[in-house]
Amino acid sequence: MKHPLTIALMSLALAATPLAAAAQLSPLKAVAAADDLVKSGDAASLDEAFALYLSAAEGGAVWGQYNAAEMLYEGRGVAQDRARAAKLYGQAADQDNLWAQYKLGLMLMKGDGVAPQPSRAVTLLDAAAMKGNIWANYELGDAYLQGQAIPRDLTRAKFYLERAAEQNNAWALLRLGEMYRDGLGVPASPADATVLFEQAAVQKNGFALVALARMIAPKDAARARALLAEAAAMGNAEAQAALAE
């Protein structure tokens, strides 16, 4: 049995030399140790956690690659470096990690810290979407709907948005509602649009509250105003402007 003082000195030594400690752990154990350190949230623990994740990443651990990338992307416990984060996301994506595929795909679609690569972004987002990643389905569907980063394709937009909506994603429900309201790639259907807006609004999506309010205003002005008031209280500028008219 180790004396408490001996244990304390060992812990202090590990904390003082995170890189040396990381080198003594297997990649999987390094990830587990880093996960525990992240829970504390203090600066010293985050610094050591990053060193452990990075060591695990260099050893090929996919969650070491992903979590080190997350810390670099957010600037949590380490200086923000999204270009470096993209490289680590890429390593995890190459190991078929759906969250890394989603995050890197989104970065490449939007040019977030890296040069835009729409074609590769579509490939990565589709890979994550086909594994059931709800946000990959939404983002890819929305990109096809907006037609800015990639050419507009309403058929593909509907396909991916419906996949996200099936998982009750409020933003996907909102976008599908807009498609049915405006007849984009589908026959215009105010009834279907209203149902979709209702499903998104119940999740307190401010934009859906406004869209629903405008749909029902001719028949139910009182409820429409209540919906606008709810959205305005959430900080929605469009709702605030409508109430000020």
pLDDT of 25 reads 83
C-alpha–C-alpha distance, residues 15 and 141, integer Å:
45
C-alpha–C-alpha distance, residues 24 and 17, integer Å:
11
- Domain 96-167 in CATH 1.10.3470? The answer is no
C-alpha–C-alpha distance, residues 241 and 245, integer Å:
7
Q: Which two tokens stand for residue 141?
A: 């569907």
Residue pair 207/236 in contact (Cβ under 8 Å)? The answer is: yes
Residue ranges covered by each domain of the chain: 1-79, 96-167, 173-245
pLDDT digits (tens, 9 = 90+) for 109-127: 999 999 999 999 999 999 9
Average pLDDT over residues 144-162: 99
Residue pair 138/158 in contact (Cβ under 8 Å)? The answer is: no
- Length of the chain equals 245
Average pLDDT over residues 91-102: 98
pLDDT of 23 reads 58
Average pLDDT over residues 180-190: 98
User: What DSSP string runs through 154-171?
Assistant: HHHHHHHHHHHHTTT-HH
Confidence label for 16 from pLDDT (cuts 50, 70 and 90) = very low
Return the residue matching tokens 């305005």: 232
Q: Which two tokens stand for residue 125?
A: 């987002």
